[in-house]
């Protein structure tokens, strides 16, 4: 809800309410040490018990990224340390959401039976939109993850469908740009200590 309110306050030049709304989102750009939210290892814990990078964590990340994209270049833009935290949040947690745009069952928690095959499409698109507000190295690292997923997934239409219509051509140009290399296929075992979860990922498995 705060994300949708932002547009109203920006167009209405209501600085006081915009700043108040921002507080609901920006305060969560910093990793936490206990409680609910994102930890420094990329874990997202909800209600102190549920490891939910792929559901509530996915939604939470969406709000933060949309917020940054809306306010980038305005006087409300995030400072460099908060922007850095947001990019690091993407890098540390995206692999729990993004296995060919699917969510690992272990990160769905109480919704483990949910069909989550195209859930990573939206966070990937929003990370792509966010990337232009970073330095070249960070931007290209985000692009490489997005490009690798797009080329590898059967759910390409889901990714395209979440793009603003005026950015589809830009996205297709990025995919076609041979100077931007897709990330190599991930082969890893990663422990999310604060969520008491491990994910195992390798090509075609």
Q: What is the pLDDT of residue 15?
A: 63
- Rounded to an integer, what distance in angstroms lies between the CA atom of residue 144 and that of residue 91? 11
Report whether 93 contacts 45 (CB < 8 A). no
Mean pLDDT of the residues in the chain: 81
Query: φ, ψ for residue 107 (rounded to 5)?
Result: -105, 10
Classify 200 as helix, strand or coil. Answer: strand
Best mean pLDDT range from 32-36, 103-107, 159-163: 159-163
Distances in whole angstroms, Cα of residue 56 to Cα of each of 8, 32, 143, 150? 25, 16, 24, 23
Report whether 192 contacts 200 (CB < 8 A). no
The 10s digit of each residue's pLDDT in 114-156 is 777 888 888 889 889 989 888 999 999 999 999 999 998 888 9
Token representation of residue 101: 């745009």
Q: Which residue is listed with tokens 């949309």?
A: 66
């Amino acid at each position: 809800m705060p994300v949708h309110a932002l547009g109203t306050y920006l167009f209405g030049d209501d600085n006081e309410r915009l700043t108040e709304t921002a507080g609901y989102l920006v305060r969560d750009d910093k990793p936490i040490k206990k409680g609910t939210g994102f930890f420094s290892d990329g874990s997202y814990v909800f209600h102190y018990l549920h490891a939910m990078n792929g559901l509530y964590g996915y939604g939470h990340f969406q709000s933060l990224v949309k917020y940054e994209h809306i306010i980038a270049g305005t006087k409300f833009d995030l400072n460099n340390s908060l922007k850095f935290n947001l990019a690091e949040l993407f890098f540390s947690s995206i692999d729990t959401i993004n296995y060919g745009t699917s969510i690992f069952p272990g990160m769905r928690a109480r919704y483990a039976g949910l069909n989550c095959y195209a859930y990573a499409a939206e966070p990937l698109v929003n990370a792509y939109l966010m990337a232009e507000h970073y330095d070249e190295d960070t931007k290209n690292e985000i692009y490489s993850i997005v490009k690798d997923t797009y080329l590898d997934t059967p759910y390409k239409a889901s990714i395209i469908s979440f793009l603003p219509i005026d950015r589809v051509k830009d996205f297709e140009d990025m995919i076609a740009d041979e100077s931007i290399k897709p990330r190599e296929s991930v082969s890893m075992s990663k422990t999310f200590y604060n969520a008491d979860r491990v994910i195992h990922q390798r090509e075609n498995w």
